[in-house]
Amino acid sequence: MLRVEHIGIAVKSLDISIPLFEKLLNAPCYKQEVIGSEQVQTAFFQQGETKIELLESMLPGSIIERFINKRGEGIHHIAFEVADIKAEMKRLSEEGFTLLQQEPTLGADNKLVCFLHPKTTNGVLIELCQEIK
Ligand SMILES: CC[C@@H](C(=O)O)C(=O)SCCNC(=O)CCNC(=O)[C@H](O)C(C)(C)COP(=O)(O)OP(=O)(O)OC[C@H]1O[C@@H](n2cnc3c(N)ncnc32)[C@H](O)[C@@H]1OP(=O)(O)O
Ligand SMILES: [Co+2]
């Protein structure tokens, strides 16, 4: 893994959480993006070489809504940047981790992404991401 690319935080309302994080980090939200396949709206903040990704559910029953209903707002996943996502998926699968998808999909901020099941990673949802060049 190259670095922590972002930390995903599930929030109920971007309208409330964007100004809150702008105050907290003393940095502007530099990008908002809708990811229809994940039924989320995102908002990004740069912090050194990593980012904070706020996630608000767009639809009832979405992954983010289910998470908030069960656990409340808070840290949802940690994303690691990798150089070659397919090679890393193969390595992690061979090491016994459960991949939540067999092929990378298009994520936010120009990335290919893949998730690992939190049951196989000490209860932490892990995202792998590779920049699309
Ligand atoms: C914006 C795009 C992208 C990016 O580019 O950055 C994103 O970050 S999208 C983020 C949202 N998308 C995802 O999270 C995709 C991967 N996640 C999943 O496929 C599912 O959330 C899941 C992890 C498979 C869980 O789904 P499901 O089994 O349907 O949910 P349950 O509510 O039944 O939970 C089962 C079990 O897992 C625990 N859980 C759920 N989410 C998390 C989590 N984020 N971290 C840790 N544990 C999690 C949940 O509490 C349940 O546990 P038990 O109650 O003990 O059974
Ligand atoms: Co993410």
CATH code: domain of residue 107 = 3.10.180.10
Q: Interface pTM (ipTM) of the complex?
A: 0.96
DSSP secondary structure string for all residues of 39-100: TEEEEEEEETTEEEEEEEE-STT-HHHHHHHHH-SEEEEEEEE-S-HHHHHHHHHHTTPPBS
Q: What is the pTM of this model?
A: 0.97
* Residue with CA nearest ligand 1 atom 34: 67
Ligand 1 pocket mutation, candidates 58, 115, 126, criterion most atoms within 8 A of CB: 115
* Residue with CA nearest ligand 1 atom 3: 107
Output the CA 109–ligand 2 centroid distance in Å: 9
CA 79 to chain centre: 6
Q: What is the pLDDT along the chain (133 residues), one digit of tens a residue?
A: 899 999 999 999 999 999 999 999 999 999 999 999 999 999 999 999 999 999 999 999 999 999 999 999 999 999 999 999 999 999 999 999 999 999 999 999 899 999 999 999 999 999 999 999 8
Q: How many structural domains compose the chain?
A: 1
Q: Which domain holds residue 42?
A: 3-131
Q: Which ligand is nearest to the CA of 66?
A: 1
